[in-house]
Amino acid sequence: MALAVGMRVLTRALLRPWARGLRAAPGRTGPAAGGGDGVRCFRSPRVLVEPDPAAGVAVVKMRNPPVNSLSLEFLTELLISLEKLENDKTFHGIIITSDCPGIFSAGLDLTEMCGRDPEHYAEYWKAVQEMWLRFYLSNLVVIAAINGISPAGGCLLSLTCDYRVLANNPKYAIGLNETLLGIVAPFWFKDTLVNTIGHRSAERALQLGLLFPPAEALRVGVVDQVVPEDQVQSTARSVMAQWLDIPDHARQLTKILMRKPTADRLLTERDADIENFVRFICKDSIQKSLHAYLEKLKQKKG
């Protein structure tokens, strides 16, 4: 228990000033109607939280259209929602899913990594680290109901969860495809994938930038279950019930036991990781490839 409390204190202490500022800002987030049972439902412009107090579960819907790219503001709102749910003793589990049809998350927001200054890159990267740390170490059961394509950072967010349910739609794919963009998945992205699918499969997937369609994602273990699209949410709910049957303290401590060494690696190298990212992303060659990639995305439309 002391370990669990220690981890919560540590991760809370890591909450960035940008998050504190936003939390205090009136009108950005705020309590909304949550029923007559005293449980509050928190909303923010890009995150919709649907609480089910009787089940001890909240569904967190990402709605940052068009593609749920993980911008600085969106990451901040996601973290604040997570923190609020963690601090509310009503909740023991969350299901994270998308409100954008066909897209779980397009990953990190490329516009946050292009044509900005080094200070911005550092701030953005710290927010990405924070998202990973907070979700990876959350004391809640976190289940991803993946109802759309989920490349790169979108896959990373799924990999922080305790269980992944993917909709069986041939248009959906999931994976860390960074090499296809000419960028390198950082060591903690890599560690999370290795912890999920093993070293050999991770090495192949990372070098080739593989995006796995549902059947392959299940075979390699990137996801735990593939179900018809209309059963993703209900499956996530029944899996959640099974996880919530386990005594919470034993499950939480086991989660920390399994994940702490991986998280510690980033925690001890956090500043160096930010410096590496800023140095890497500021390179002319990287900026050119990211610009070209964004242009290609825009031209795709016609």
Ligand X SMILES: CCCCCCCCCCC/C=C/C(=O)SCCNC(=O)CCNC(=O)[C@H](O)C(C)(C)COP(=O)(O)OP(=O)(O)OC[C@H]1O[C@@H](n2cnc3c(N)ncnc32)[C@H](O)[C@@H]1OP(=O)(O)O
> Residue 73 interacts with ligand X (CB under 6 A)?
no
Q: Is 178 a catalytic residue?
A: yes
Min CB(277)–ligand X separation in Å = 5
Token pair, residue 278, equals 């800023």
Dihedral sign (CA 184, 216, 171, 193): negative
Of 110, 167, 174, 205, the residue at the interface with ligand X (CB under 6 A) is: 110
* 50 a catalytic residue: no
* Residue closer to ligand X (CB basis): 111 or 268: 111
The stretch near ligand X (CB under 6 A) out of 75-83, 90-98, 190-198, 274-282 is 274-282
64 a catalytic residue = no
The CA distance from 283 to 7, in Å, is: 36
Torsion of CA 20, 142, 2, 83, to 10 degrees: 20
Of 9-17, 65-73, 193-201, 220-228, the window that binds ligand X (rule: CB under 6 A) is 65-73
Residue 108 bears catalytic tag:
yes
Nearest to 58 by CA among 120, 127, 145, 134: 145
280 is an interface residue for ligand X by CB under 6 A: yes
Distance of CA 271 to the CA centre of its chain: 21
CB of 118 to ligand X, least distance (A): 13
Q: Say which residue the tokens 């412009």 belong to.
A: 45
In the window 86-105, what residues touch ligand X (CB under 6 A)? 103
Residue 37 gets which letter from DSSP? Answer: T
Q: Which of residues 184, 218, 244, 256 is near ligand X by CB under 6 A? A: 184
- Is residue 223 close enough to count as binding ligand X by CB under 6 A? no
Count residues contacting ligand X (CB under 6 A)?
Answer: 27
148-151 β-sheet, strand order = 102-103, 148-151, 174-175
The yes or no reply on residue 191 touching ligand X (CB under 6 A) is: no
Beta carbon nearer to ligand X, 187 or 243:
187
Residue 164's φ and ψ, nearest 5 degrees, are -125, 125
Catalytic residues, by residue number, are 108, 153, 177-178
